[in-house]
Structure 1
Amino acid sequence: MSSKLNKASAIAVAAMMTTILLSANGSGAAAESLVPVAVPQEPTPEIQPAQIEPQVQQVPSAEPDVADSLAELVAAQPHPEALSSELNCLAGAIYFEAKGESLAGQLAVGRVVVARSKSGRFPGSYCGVVFQPSQFSFVRGGALPYIKKQSIDWKEAVAIAQIAHEGTWRSPVEGALFFHASRVSPGWRLQRLARVDNHIFYR
């Protein structure tokens, strides 16, 4: 009887130990000691050669210089039969101040007129800026002098005026509000930006 009891006790103890061990495997402490198991990934579909679109990479060309690019933009401008009074004033300022200069120099002059009209410190129109007393030496009696409107210089000034008005090309002295001919030294206490052709520009 006692051997049967001992055998039954041993079975009971073994069953209890199995229960304890199984419950420990589910606890947090046991989870820390478990070896991580790799989670199966979704298989990546294979790309067949027919599905790949060929990509053609452009060979970079040499950067065009600024003058050439601005020249192309000037050439692309329309040639209106008649200009609005505002564009006429802007083109007139470019023509009388900078004709014969580089396109960048003409644009710099035009952008000064545009910047002044938007600054709140000068009249709010191109004609107001151009005809403001004691600002532009070419103005005579509140009017523009005679312009040869069939000339290349005028056609170029009109194209630059359109570019300056639309803001499609940055001036080399963008934001300038003042300029004077390089041959004079007015002694202005302003921030000098740069010299472009025959003018020195300030903010």
Structure 2
Amino acid sequence: MTSQSLNSHHVDPDTALKLYIDGRWSAPLDPVSIAVINPATEEVVAHVASGSAADVDRAVAAARTAFAGWSGTSPHARAQIIGRIHELIIERKEQLAQAISLEMGASISSARAMQVPLAAEHVRVARDLLATYRFHTVEGSTAIEREPIGVCGLITPWNWPLYQITAKVAPAIAAGCTVVLKPSELSPLSALLFAQL
């Protein structure tokens, strides 16, 4: 795949060779890249950064630092941010569907009709739950406090990539946790686009 066709799907080739850590794109410590192959055509559609154990350590350290602030946000504030993520998925549904089709060889009709809408639904549900979820309850003489636990390490499989990302990221950030996401090396384009939201 050429750089021009990559750009037409909003996956910048230079960004694809970086990692999203601490709210910004940064070069990996080890410049190894992985070819992303469309299984339907067996064509290389992109090259993405591999990331190393040291890069994971950087990501975890950044997520730990961010946890102090994020875990203290109100459920209402988290719902607003998650709501904006939902809106952006809907706005960029065609870009996301095209990326899913490229990275996992799914038909574009399947990506448009099922994969992107169901991924958006995970985010909407997480947003809506925050309006009524009781983080503090008292049952008899027992008080129950539900609080963010910390950094969540999230690993997603190759199939239904955006759906798998939102199924893990949305509830984690709704709960007040921060995340380090490791998408499948077979279908990482959805994760690149999700990070741009």
TM-score, with length taken from structure 1: 0.24
Structure whose residues are more often strand by fraction: 2
Larger radius of gyration: 1
Higher relative contact order at CA 8 Å, sep ≥6: structure 1 or structure 2?
2
Structure whose residues are more often helix by fraction: 2
TM-score, with length taken from structure 2: 0.24
